Structure 1
Amino acid sequence: MFVRIVKMGFQPEKINEFLANFEANKEHIRSFDGCEFLELYRDKNNPNIFFTYSYWNHEDDLERYRQSSLFKSVWAKTKPLFNTKPEAWSVNKLHSLK
């Protein structure tokens, strides 16, 4: 399992549009084969910055999602809303304390 973190910056007037799109698709993304966890975060100091945080079983699962019609549809609506280039990291979880 690995973690995918995506940082996105939005035009202030487009944030509600992004949030509506995320709300409409979050269950579909979370239930995509191989996705085990999905969260959305908002930066406390810059309300235009959001992060998605997701767990994937295998890199192939994430790649299948990225090639899917679901991702293409979500991304087509999200991409025009950015005010900066998004950044993404795939990281291995080493420890988790509860």
Structure 2
Amino acid sequence: MLVRIVKMSFAEENIETFLANFEKVKLKIRGFNGCQYLELYRDKHNTNIFFTYSYWNTENDLNNYRHSNLFKDVWAETKPMFNAKPEAWSVDKVVSLQ
């Protein structure tokens, strides 16, 4: 399983638009073939910073999403709202305790 973490920072005036757009597309992203999990987090102190965590069966599944029309549409709408360059990491889960 591959975990994808994306850090995004938005201009204050764009946060509500981002959240509304995420609400519209979250089920489509989560329902994309190979996506097993999706969460959105917001920094407690820097409230213009958000993180997505998504779990993918394989790196190929993530790449299929990243090259899909869904991703292209989401990214085209989201990218102009950033106030800093987004950062992304693909990581392997080493330990998980519940």
TM-score range (shorter-chain normalised) is: over 0.9
SS in 1 for 2:84: coil
* Alignment TM-score, normalising by the size of structure 1: 0.99
Task: Deviation per CA, 1:24-61: give whole Å up to 9, x if none.
Answer: 00000000000000000000010000000000000000
- How many residues align? The count is 98
Partner of 2:75: 75
Partner of 1:17: 17
Alpha-carbon distance between aligned partners in 1 of 2:51 and 2:25, rounded to the nearest angstrom = 16
* Alignment TM-score, normalising by the size of structure 2: 0.99
Partner of 2:2: 2
Partner of 1:36: 36
Alpha-carbon distance between aligned partners in 2 of 1:19 and 1:75, rounded to the nearest angstrom = 14
Say whether residues 1:87 and 2:93 are aligned partners.
Answer: no
RMSD: 0.4
Q: Percent identity, aligned pairs only?
A: 68
Give runs of ≥4 in structure 1 deviating > 4 Å. none
| Deviation (angstroms), 1:2 | 1.2
Alpha-carbon distance between aligned partners in 1 of 2:66 and 2:4, rounded to the nearest angstrom = 12
Alpha-carbon distance between aligned partners in 1 of 2:87 and 2:65, rounded to the nearest angstrom = 17
Q: Structure 2: any 5+ residue segments left out of the alignment?
A: none
